[in-house]
């Protein structure tokens, strides 16, 4: 299929085409840029939700329950599960199989796992573009589910309209969340497994820590929702809070602002890749390799060698 | 103090000077580059150990016990604890206080926590330079302790000579480690809390997964060490395995190779920053900002706008 016909056949119903376009983007195939441009221009109608948090906090379960709830409201849901997998595991993960049997057979649900295959480089970028593909296909909600607390997760969270951070009583206290840098990105905390001992104390502690967060007058006040995702408790409340945040963003015109910030960051990232790929040709690479011994012997520092190469080849 | 006199007074004994140089690097003060170059050229004698793994796996406890053991061997130890902290927490974390009372008062131990203060950008770079500072000061071992599983942690692991990944039975099974991309970077797995139920099964599972890892003939075979760090069990074994890995790297000349790879990556990163900072001046920034609406209105894609800016201002 040509790029044009792929784009023309892109729709909710056509999961094969969705998968094919995402694979082209994931593998950085030749036609990738054309497809990225086309889906970007057709995107913007979906509402994007990021669900992140430490391992074991129930992100997948919350995603699944939220998806089921959206389906009861007859909304379509696309899910991008970002998973920095090892290159030698390949294939499907256990969690995916459970998930597929629960929600994956629904016509108006699409699930895609994206893994890093050895290098995290570009993973968040590709996940964000995959979100554009689902957006262009017409899904009403897109959920980015990300494991971990690193830079990739923060980047993906920036591409979401509403970011939900899941925590559990076992995370110790909320210091865990602060350490992970999750406080800044959370629009809503879903305090999961909140029927367990220690949950109320942990929530109180999270609440008191949040008092210290400096907020401007027109800024969103982070909400806390108690959930027991396994038993579908608190999920409707979570969906309400997401809707509440969405209305806040629309009312204050912050939705356009945050999307524009995200697009700006994406543009800068493309420029940076172009600058680097133009700079590093055979000559500059050869020069670098010929001079690596000067670094090992501590004759030059990386800063000094970089200066030299930059002046010589720029 | 001038840059030169700071460098001249840099030594194990002079913790004030160490702290001051690291702070200058951390805050990217004017004299930062000069200091970075000077400490890099004096570095290379220390042995660098990275300790990473999921939250709650006992990284700090293992670091502390390993430090105590090295001290019994009269070796000096510098610790860089990398912690993507929230910007509104500031100050010392609880863990640091516990740690200080255990090992921090030792003359030949230096501990530094580095946090992200809101943006993870540059954190791994600064942590690696802080390692150079401790190296130049004369510490025999330098331990990078990092929380989380993101790109920053992987970058810091690349700057270590030996990377120890800590796991616990609660991590579910070893799928957790694979998902986190930790398999590729682990020279040694420290299976901590190995006295807990399920530990042996989890280790067996990890072992069987590792069978699938494709290794070249002269490649290091990842070791697994069982520890109960709280009770100081298995720490001597861990130290032996680290020494064993170090000897392997020296014997096969891989130590120089991995350090050279690390210096190469650092050089490329400096070039990339230079390229970006030269490109983004008032004119190109203005043009970008003036065109953000074309992204929001989906007239252009980030790729297309980046192309346009790149052609116009490069």
**Is B96 strand, coil or helix?**
helix
CA dist A303 and B6 (Å) reads 19
Q: Give the burial string for A82-118 (b: 16+ CB within 10 Å, else e).
A: bbbbbbebeeebebbeebeebbbeeebbbbbbbbbbe
Share of chain B above pLDDT 70, in %: 84
Answer with the residue of higher pLDDT: A132 or B90: A132
Residue B122 forms contact with A (CB below 8 Å): no
Chain A nearest-CA distance from B72, in A, is 31
Judged against a pLDDT cut of 90, whether residue A297 lies above it is answered with: yes
Phi, psi of A114 (to 5 degrees): -120, 130
Cβ-contact A237, A228 below 8 angstroms: no
Chain B nearest-CA distance from A139, in A, is 18
Contact (CB<8Å) A178/B86: yes
Averaged pLDDT, A26-48: 94
Cβ-contact B33, A307 below 8 angstroms: no
Residue A213 forms contact with B (CB below 8 Å): yes
Share of chain B above pLDDT 90, in %: 60
Contact (CB<8Å) A309/B271: yes
Answer with the residue of higher pLDDT: B151 or A107: A107
Judged against a pLDDT cut of 90, whether residue A28 lies above it is answered with: no
Record the tokens describing residue B195, joined without a space. 């006295």
Q: Which of A127, A147, A27 is closest to A78 using CA atoms? A: A127
State the pairing for strand pair B223-226/B188-191.
parallel
Centroid of chain to Cα B310: 34
Confidence tier at A85 by pLDDT (50, 70, 90): very low
pLDDT at position B196: 87
Cβ-contact A135, A36 below 8 angstroms: no
Contact (CB<8Å) B148/A150: yes
**Is B141 strand, coil or helix?**
strand
Record the tokens describing residue B103, joined without a space. 């090992």
Q: Which of A90-99, A142-151, B249-258 has the lowest average pLDDT? A: A90-99
Q: Which of A86-90, A128-132, A281-285, B301-305 has the lowest average pLDDT? A: A86-90
Laid out side by side, the sheet with B162-167 consists of B109-115, B77-83, B141-146, B47-52, B162-167, B188-191, B223-226
Domains and CATH numbers, chain B: 43-270 (3.40.50.300), 280-313 (no CATH)
Q: Which of A128, A133, A132, A161 is closest to A146 using CA atoms? A: A128
B276-296 pLDDT, tens digit each: 999 999 999 999 999 999 999
Judged against a pLDDT cut of 90, whether residue A268 lies above it is answered with: yes
pLDDT at position B258: 95
The helices-and-strands tally (H runs, E runs) of chain B is 14, 7
Answer with the residue of higher pLDDT: A312 or A30: A312
pLDDT at position A120: 46
Answer with the residue of higher pLDDT: A143 or A115: A143
Contact (CB<8Å) B116/A181: yes
Residue A90 forms contact with B (CB below 8 Å): no
Contact (CB<8Å) A37/B304: yes
CA dist A247 and A241 (Å) reads 10
Judged against a pLDDT cut of 70, whether residue A256 lies above it is answered with: yes
Residue B184 forms contact with A (CB below 8 Å): yes
- Residue from B46, B86, B158, B261 whose CB has the most chain A CBs within 10 Å, to mutate: B86
Cβ-contact A235, A241 below 8 angstroms: no
| Alpha helix ranges (H) inside B57-198 | 59-72, 94-99, 123-137, 151-158, 175-179
Cβ-contact B179, A114 below 8 angstroms: no
Record the tokens describing residue B138, joined without a space. 């004369």
CA dist A177 and A133 (Å) reads 31
Which chain A positions have a beta carbon within 8 Å of B288's beta carbon? 264, 267-268
State the pairing for strand pair A188-191/A77-83.
unpaired
pLDDT at position A288: 98
* Residue among B153, B293, B298 minimizing CB distance to A40: B298
B151-176 pLDDT, tens digit each: 667 778 789 999 998 888 765 544 55
Q: Would you give the DSSP letter of residue A31? A: T
Interface of A with B in 46-85 (CB under 8 A): 54-56, 83-85
Sign of the torsion formed by the C-alpha atoms of A218, A220, A222 and A224:
positive
CA dist A229 and A238 (Å) reads 10
Contact (CB<8Å) A153/B154: no
Contact (CB<8Å) A179/B147: yes
B106-120 pLDDT, tens digit each: 899 999 988 765 444
Residue B90 forms contact with A (CB below 8 Å): no
* Residue among B33, B85, B176 minimizing CB distance to A178: B85
Judged against a pLDDT cut of 80, whether residue A61 lies above it is answered with: yes
What is the residue-averaged pLDDT of chain A? 86
Averaged pLDDT, A142-148: 84
Question: Taking the CA of residue B1 as centre, how many other CA atoms within 13 Å lie in the half-sphere pointing to its CB?
Answer: 15
Confidence tier at B121 by pLDDT (50, 70, 90): low
Record the tokens describing residue B57, joined without a space. 């796996």
B35-92 pLDDT, tens digit each: 999 999 999 999 999 998 776 788 889 999 999 999 999 999 999 988 654 333 333 3
pLDDT at position B290: 96
pLDDT at position B109: 95
Averaged pLDDT, A192-203: 87
Contact (CB<8Å) A306/B270: yes
Q: Which of A171-180, B106-115, B160-169, B238-247 has the lowest average pLDDT? A: A171-180
Size of interface A-B (CB pairs under 8 A): 230
* Residue among A88, A172, A304 minimizing CB distance to B212: A88
pTM: 0.85
Contact (CB<8Å) A179/B152: no
Judged against a pLDDT cut of 80, whether residue B94 lies above it is answered with: no
What is the residue-averaged pLDDT of chain B? 86
């Amino acid at each position: 299929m040509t790029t044009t016909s792929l784009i023309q056949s892109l729709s909710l119903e056509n999961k094969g085409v969705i998968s094919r376009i995402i694979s082209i983007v994931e593998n950085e195939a030749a036609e990738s840029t054309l497809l990225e441009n086309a889906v970007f221009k057709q995107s913007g109608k979906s509402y994007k939700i990021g669900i992140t948090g430490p391992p074991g906090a129930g992100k997948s379960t919350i995603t699944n329950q939220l998806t089921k709830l959206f389906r009861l409201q007859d909304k379509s849901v696309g899910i991008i599960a970002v998973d920095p997998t090892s290159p030698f595991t390949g294939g499907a993960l256990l969690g995916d199989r459970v998930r597929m049997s629960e929600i994956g057979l629904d016509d108006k649900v699409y699930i895609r796992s994206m893994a890093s295959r050895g290098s995290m480089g570009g993973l968040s970028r590709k996940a964000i573009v995959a979100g554009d593909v689902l957006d262009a296909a017409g899904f009403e909600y897109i959920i980015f589910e990300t494991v971990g607390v690193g830079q990739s997760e923060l980047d993906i969270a920036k591409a979401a309209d509403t970011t939900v951070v899941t925590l559990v009583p076992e995370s110790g206290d909320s210091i865990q969340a602060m350490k992970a840098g999750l406080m800044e990105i959370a629009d809503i905390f879903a305090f999961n497994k909140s029927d367990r001992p220690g949950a109320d104390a942990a929530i109180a502690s999270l609440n008191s820590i949040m008092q210290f967060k400096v907020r401007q007058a027109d800024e969103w006040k982070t909400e806390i929702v108690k959930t027991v995702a396994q038993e579908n408790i608190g999920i409707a409340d979570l969906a309400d809070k997401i809707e509440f945040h969405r209305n806040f963003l629309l009312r204050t015109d912050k939705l356009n602002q945050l999307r524009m910030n995200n697009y700006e960051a994406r543009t800068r990232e493309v420029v940076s890749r172009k600058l680097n790929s133009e700079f590093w040709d055979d000559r500059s690479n050869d020069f670098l390799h010929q001079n690596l011994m000067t670094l090992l012997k501590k004759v030059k520092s990386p800063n000094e060698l970089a200066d030299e190469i930059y002046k010589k080849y720029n």
